[in-house]
Amino acid sequence: MNALLSVIRRDLLLALRRKGDALTVLFFFVIVTSLFPLGIGPEANLLRKIAPGILWVAALLATMLGLGRLFAPDHADGTLEQMALSPSPFGLLVMGKIIAHWLTTGMPLVALAPFLGLLFDLPADALFLLTLTLLIGTPLLSLIGAIGAALTLGLRGGGVLLSLLVLPLYVPALIFGAGAVEAQIVGLDASGHLSLLAALLALAVFFAPWAATVALRIALE
């Protein structure tokens, strides 16, 4: 457990020393989402209708942007080797890295989402639900993304392959996440979507670190 906390602390400190990396992701999210109201114009009804989908797609792409740096720097300087050699279970340390990735990319997206939702004239309860879906959904994105990042580690052109690999896997999260907000806007019950999203997260928490660990071990051989 100590090793897990120390990995999280180290990655957070590293993100603080390399602020640019985390800020790029945030700015990308902000710019992409704010381009849509500017491009479409002040049609409140249309904006409200497309808001959940756009915010979710932007969050998805922003998370993707940070995935390339999840394991690659640690692979390049040998830290990953030392983690694999640590007496602590490798999977636990990988989990630490995924948690740190969420704290530096996913959580800021969640915090920004309600403000960006205002650009689309979303009502207060929809804003709240949108933030909630992203709060459940972004850890899921980090977990699934970690599998892709581990599988493409050390490959040439890994960045493109990573998107091709991970984006299809993000589809269920997108459908249930954006679907929950859309359902609520048209007056339906959103709890079904939320439960499914949470179930996906529960599943990913168990299996994604394990799968990522296996892929990393293969990359290290």
Partner 1 sequence: MLTAHDLACVRGDRTLFSGIEFSLAPGEWLHVQGENGAGKTSLLRILASLSPPAAGEIRWHGRSIRELGADYRAQLIFLGHHGAVKEEFSPLENLLFAAHLDEVPLCRQEAQAALAAFGLRGREDLPVRFLSAGQKRRALLARLAVRRACLWILDEPFTALDVKAVAMLSALIERHLAQGGIVVLTSHQSMPLPKGKALSL
Binding site for partner 1 (CB under 8 A): 2-3, 6, 10, 13-14, 17-18, 76-79, 81-89, 93, 220-221
Least distance (Å) between residue 88 CB and partner 1: 6
SS3 state at 68: helix
Strands (E), 23-178: none
56 half-sphere exposure, CB direction, 13 A CA radius: 29
Q: How far is the CB of 220 from partner 1 (least distance, A)?
A: 6
Q: Report the distance separating Cα 146 and Cα 165, nearest Å.
A: 11
Q: Nearer to partner 1 by C-beta: 43 or 81?
A: 81
Number of residues in the chain:
221
Q: Find the shortest distance in angstroms from Cβ 84 to partner 1.
A: 6
CA distance 79 to 85: 10
Q: Which is nearer to partner 1, 82 or 191 (CB)?
A: 82
Nearest distance in Å: CB 221, partner 1: 4
Residue 196 burial class via C-beta count within 10 angstroms: exposed 0-12, middle 13-18, buried 19 and up? middle
Select 103 or 220, whichever has its Cβ closest to partner 1.
220
Least distance in angstroms from the C-beta of 104 to partner 1: 14
Comparing CB distances to partner 1, the nearer of 10 and 49 is 10
The strand ranges marked E within 107-148 are: none
- Chain centroid to CA 139: how far? 6
What are the structure tokens assigned to 30, written together? 């902000």
What's the CA gap between 204 and 7, in Å, rounded?
Answer: 20
- At 94, give phi and psi (nearest 5°): -65, -40
In the complex, minimum distance from the CB of residue 86 to partner 1, in angstroms, rounded to a whole number = 4
Residue with Cβ nearer partner 1 (35 or 155): 155
User: Closest CB to partner 1 among 5 and 188?
Assistant: 5
| Residue whose CB is less far from partner 1, 46 or 219 | 219
How many Cβ atoms are within 10 Å of 163's Cβ, its own excluded? 18
